[in-house]
Amino acid sequence: MTKKIMMKGNEAIAEAAIRAGCRLYFGYPITPQSEIAEYMARRLPEVGGTFLQTESEVATVNMVYGAACTGRRVMTSTSSPGFSLMQEGISYIAGAELPCVFVNVVRGGPGLGDIQPAQGDYFQATKGGGHGDYRVIVLGPSTVQEAVDLMGLAFDLADKYRNPVLVLADGLIGQMMEPVELPEMRDLSNLPDHSSWALVGAKGRKPHKVTSFNIDPHELEKMNKRYQAKYREIEKNEKRWENYRVEDLEYLLVGYGTSGRILKSVADMARGDGIKVGVFRPITLWPYPYEALAEVAGNARFVLTVEMSSGQMVEDVKLALEGRVPVYFYGRMAGVVPTPEEIYRYFVKLLEEG
């Protein structure tokens, strides 16, 4: 057992990636995640890895594409405006079915916005920020420890499905320090074998071609059908969520990441006042755990969704509940983090309004 140490979220994310076997990092500085790049610049040479500061996020995502073509574990990290710039490349990566990991430490938007924690990139992350029919696996950590754990999962899922995986954090997860327990270093000789498709030189075999391209629509549709079959498989196998104090609930709070974590305090406050409130916190934002949410919300008088946005995930909550339970929304935008007290006040107001 390793013991717990205090680490800043961004640095813990970087160390977790290295321990998951990632030895390749490409990135461009942007607040509030630059500590990931700085940590990688210092740490990767110690473990025989490669760090490269790129000229832009556009170059970054394409370097990730090139590195992923060789089958080695590779990642980048960025924050909202930078993630927007990467969307074209992510679409290509999804189409070429390349395993790699992205971290978006989300800040306030739109546009230049600010550098405070926000959740306004949910649509972009989960509904496809780039062109075409593709999906990215999206994981939403709510603590530094969970961010560490999800980094390891992200690399494993990327390899398992040959698909990009996004860890959707926010400025709070990135910037705060918390005690974490880090996993052991992965044995690099034991990572998944990609030799059946990787571009490493056609020695003693036919050449491998990696592409999202086919000029024949019928052939391209076949490729698309293959992607879709994979996405259905991911939906079947990989949904993850956390239920908090949901037994005997009468009201359900739903939130992910930082707001999901804050909702636990709100539920505790309500329980302290004798109101039976539970929390549903999706961990995979794609695939979204619709069925699990429908099940836990089945007996709720109403559902309150809370996000650090104008209301994006709430659309998935409504899809899950299909009008069977009233769904309300409370949000703060632009980098303002809601307090448990203000959320509780809003909840009580909803109760009183009946």
Partner 1 sequence: MGKAIFNPPKSLSKKEFTYCPGCHHGIVHRLVAEVIDELGIQEKTVIIAPVGCSVFAYEFFELDGTVAPHGRALAVATGMKRARPDLVVFTYQGDGDLAAIGTAETIHAANRGEKLTTIFINNAVYGMTGGQMAPTTLIGQKTTTTPYGRNHEKDGYPIHISEILSTMNGVAYLERVTVDTPQNVRNAKKAIKKAFLAQIKGLGFGLVEVLSACPTNWGMNPVEAMTWLREHMVKEFPPKLFVDKVGDG
Among 146-154, 179-187, 204-212, 265-273, which window interacts with partner 1 (CB under 8 A)? 204-212
CB of 134 to partner 1, least distance (A): 14
Give the C-alpha separation, 322 to 315, whole Å.
10
Residue 252 in contact with partner 1, rule: CB under 8 A: no
Residue 126 in contact with partner 1, rule: CB under 8 A: no
Binding mask 21-50 for partner 1 (x = CB under 8 A): ---x-x-----------------------x
**What are φ and ψ of residue 47, in 5° steps?**
-115, 20
Peptide bond preceding 45 in cis form (omega within 30 of 0): no
Give the C-alpha separation, 278 to 284, whole Å.
19
Residue 207 in contact with partner 1, rule: CB under 8 A: yes
Give the C-alpha separation, 337 to 309, whole Å.
10
Nearer to partner 1, 24 or 321 (CB): 24
- Alpha helices by DSSP H, listed for 69-142, are 80-85, 87-96, 122-127
What SS3 state is found at 51?
strand
Task: Report yes or no: 120 and 333 within 8 Å, Cβ to Cβ.
Answer: yes
Report, in angstroms and rounded to the nearest whole number, the Rg of the chain calculated over CA atoms. 21
Residue 1 in contact with partner 1, rule: CB under 8 A: no
Nearer to partner 1, 70 or 299 (CB): 70
Q: Which of 12, 17, 67, 147 binds partner 1 (CB under 8 A)?
A: 67
Among 52-60, 132-140, 178-186, 264-272, which window interacts with partner 1 (CB under 8 A)? 52-60
Chain contacts with partner 1 (rule: CB under 8 A): 24, 26, 50, 52, 54-56, 58-60, 62-70, 72, 74, 88-89, 92, 96, 199-204, 207-211, 213
